[in-house]
Amino acid sequence: MKIDPPDFIAGGFWVISMEDWITIRNLKKRNPNMGTKAIANKLGLSRNTVKKALRSENPPAYKKKAYTNLELVSSQP
């Protein structure tokens, strides 16, 4: 049961989808003895991605950086 690669990039890093996050957490919940390496192999993800998903309390969220238009800032008196 391999999942699709992450759909989008945030800040230069791949971000897993909420469905992937739920799948990882459900696998661990149903199989407490299943290690991160086994989950990573089953889903085709990095072990670090699985570890991060298991540590996080909240699902992944895209956070957009604030953008300042320097042309508008410099033209104001």
Is pLDDT above 90 for 37?
yes
What HEC string does 10-64 produce?
ECCEEECCHHHHHHHHHHHHHCCCCCHHHHHHHHCCCHHHHHHHHHCCCCCCCCC
CATH 1.10.10 fits 8-59, yes or no: yes
Residue ranges covered by each domain of the chain: 8-59
- pLDDT (tens digit per residue) in 17-35: 888 899 999 999 999 999 9
Is pLDDT above 60 for 68?
yes
* pLDDT value of residue 11: 52
Identity of the residue numbered 25: R
